[in-house]
A and B are shown apart, each in its own frame.
Chain A
Amino acid sequence: MNERIKKLRQQSLDAVPTLSHERAQLLTDFYKSGEAQKHSIPVARALSFKYILENKTLCVNEGELFVGEKGPEPKATPTYPELCIHSEQDIDILHNRSKVWFRSSEETRDVILKEVAPFWKGKSIREKILEEVDEQWLDSYKAGVFTEFMEQRAPGHTVGDDKIFRKGMLDFKKEIQESIAKLDFYNDTEAFAKREELRAMEISADALITFAKRYSILLYELAKKEKDKRRKNELETLAGICERVPANAPRTFWEALQYYWFVHLGVTTELNTWDSFNPGRLDQHLQPFYKRDVESGLLTEDQARQLLQSFWVKFNNQPAPPKVGVTAQESNTYTDFCLINVGGVTEKGEDATNDMSYMILDVIEEMRLLQPSSMVQVSKKNPDRLLKRALKIIKTGYGQPSIFNTDAIIQELTRQGKSIIDARCGGASGCVEAGAFGKESYILTGYFNIPKILEITLNNGVDPRTQKKIGIDTGNSEKFNSFDELYDAFEKQLNHFIDIKIKGNLIIERIYAEYMPAPFLSILVDDCIEKGKDYNAGGARYNSSYIQGVGLGTITDSLSSIKFHVFDKKNFSMKEMIELLKNNFDDNKEARDKFLFETPKYGNDDDYADDITQRVFESYFKAVDGRPNTKGGHFRIDLLPTTCHVYFGSVLGATPDGRFAKEPVSEGISPVQGADVHGPTSVIKSASKIDHLRTGGTLLNQKFTPNFLETDDGIEKILQLIRTYFRLDGHHMQFNVVDAEVLKKAQKHPEKYRDLIVRVAGYSDYFVDLGEDLQNEIIRRTEHTGY
């Protein structure tokens, strides 16, 4: 990392996250002007987008090689009042909270509270959603049965493909005009709506060109004034680049990256789309430019590296949009889930790794920034070298990159009906979500609290926390005579709540389709232009809606505990079990210990438990998969929690697996913390018993201490672990290389860390099994090896 990059990196780290009122104010000014009311909704949206890009503050940071920020300066974070309005209380919470805060100036407060909020009140999408969904939905939502993604962020969940690297905005405009010309007003009853949408796309394409041109003019001015000759040159080059892209297709490495960045700003200025947006298979997109530029002598390897590093900083300058309401209090990350993909296979299905794959991994390691996130796609065709390189970054304890199984992703996508080529050119985005990049709208609609369904079942439809009957009558659970009877009741309640969630989703999808089109994003996703349809209204080639199941470990262990202790061994009656749960096990340590330690549990390659996992998976799959959404696509499932397992735990009473009330539920498809005691191969075996190929993504966490990965042999053994998991069709794995702090916690609460493996002295063992003296020794050692 050279001095310039060090400086840029530091500037980004030091930048203070603030709330920016600029976008909200410009948007409000536009809608107040009366201009919006003259046009259809898509065109008005496009014109507001144009207005913002024509008027927003330009920002050129000292020494940077790419221009453009979402706000007027790094980490100045815009709000989206057309979706959700920040109240005075929200602004205060964001300003004052001790973690993940957003400072706001007096001016920002004034503008948002006096100009913006009064105008949008009653018009925001969030208000519309809460008006349109029914009471059942609201009750379930409040009880914590599910969450709703679109209540303050727009549907996004899509990733760019290679098209912007081949075509300029002018090319897209041409396509749009051709599509308009082809409209059949004699037979197509939607022709007018399509024309409005296509006109909106055209305006949006122009808007981005204008935005870049404004930068070009500013950069030429700055170049004139610049004393330093080298910088002067750079500014001139950059001005030329902004003149050329995004209007035209990029010709060079530098142009390609600046082009992407304008597109990124376009998508995230238009709406606060979920999972931000990202360039997807960046190594694939950049390699041709890199090769060409190096061959022609335009670019050296070092320069390319520097450009990438500077590009990385741009991502880190954009914190995730600040939330409102309860979420403002709970949401605790600046990460906006841009997941850069490296590796995988080509369109032809061959190993896709190239120079760029390794250079990007170098950059990830060196930059060590929160954003962008990164992942490595590993197919059986990719060399071990790729995986080893990734593991060498992972071992520094930075949690990146995560590892994905390309072969599984391709099968998941083709099962859903995508062409094999589109599947190969796809990957994973957000946390772990499989998608056909540039061709699919794959919307995560909300997390679903599976263990909560059991709680409601055990209480015959009543949520014990809110004391409301939100479920259906499935009978007094004390009278169940067999596990199957209980399971049937559970399945009925599950279907009931999935119905409620899907009904809500279908309404919300249409709210976005009608009121909140995204014409700019639509340019970037096939086949919106061809169909003349918006991304939010089914314009994409593929349209999937997901409901993300949470708590697979907790639900398995809870059902297993009831099956084992109540029906098989008859250690407890159902009545006793329910009493224990109601009273949070009271002081009955003996009973709780039985549930904790003497129950077959998920994560141990024990079929007693894993059969239940499979059964729950099948029920969940059946309840959701294949049901139609409003965009011509289908509902699908995936199993990932982000941090929702904490919230879902907080609204859940004690569970039969020995979990205390309010404690988090298990995350992803990982076992309950500490429930897996037979090592990582058993976890992998258990996890691979669910059918990953019928999901759109699963998340598995594994913990290792840094010293386990210290030697090449250790890395090899982890590589083999991953390869085996992928051979068993596992979707994703991430490694938590734990530091001394975690080990100290493990010492205090060994019951939660029973699965933690440490390398001791030429051999490995469970940390909690070691004598205290040795634990202390390893903690000390880990402090040295930790980053």
Chain B
Amino acid sequence: MSSDGPRAACCVRLISFHPPRSPPRLPSSQIPQTMAAAASRHLCSATALLSPSAAAAPIRQRVGYGSSSNRRWLCRRWAHGPDAASRIRRLTTRSRTARVSCAYSTGAEAITACSWNQNVICSDVPVLVEFWASWCGPCKMVHRIVDEIAAEYDGRIKCYKLDTDDYPQTAISYNIERVPTVLLFKDGEKIHSITGTLPKAVYVRAIENSFLEQ
């Protein structure tokens, strides 16, 4: 799972920059500049990612050039090629990955060890951090609760998620043994720790108490 992480992220990137998703219907005079801009954007995203699938970008670019009818014709020819099955299959998995990441963007944000000081220690509002691990069942339940809390307390507290497998040093420094563990920080200090899956009311009560202490 963790080894697939960067590649999955790359797929999301490629999909989101892929022109057929949002073909700008512009007058013909504007098309060259738009396409050039799109192409340079592609190149940036593809070269910056340093992943095996970055090599896929040139083909996808070529498919993306020209008017939409031209593109459709190219796509159809490409769909009959000898390795069409594998490409089509890869495309579907990519779109699925993209959908997952969209679901994530609405709730609590992911946090890294690098942004820890800035976002948690130096925050002027209380911060809720959920420590989780991949393939931990209860974490998925707590994810949902934290996402709901993030939406309800938007602006009053900040909610983050930290993958303990990606940033073990942070997890060790806060003595995280069991996951999911939710820590509540205020003025850079840990004021509350909730381990395991508990009803949403427990988390809400801890947050309300942190407001009262102000």
Are the chains A and B members of one assembly? no
Interface residues of A (CB under 8 A from B): none
> Hey, which bits of chain B sit against chain A, CB under 8 A?
none
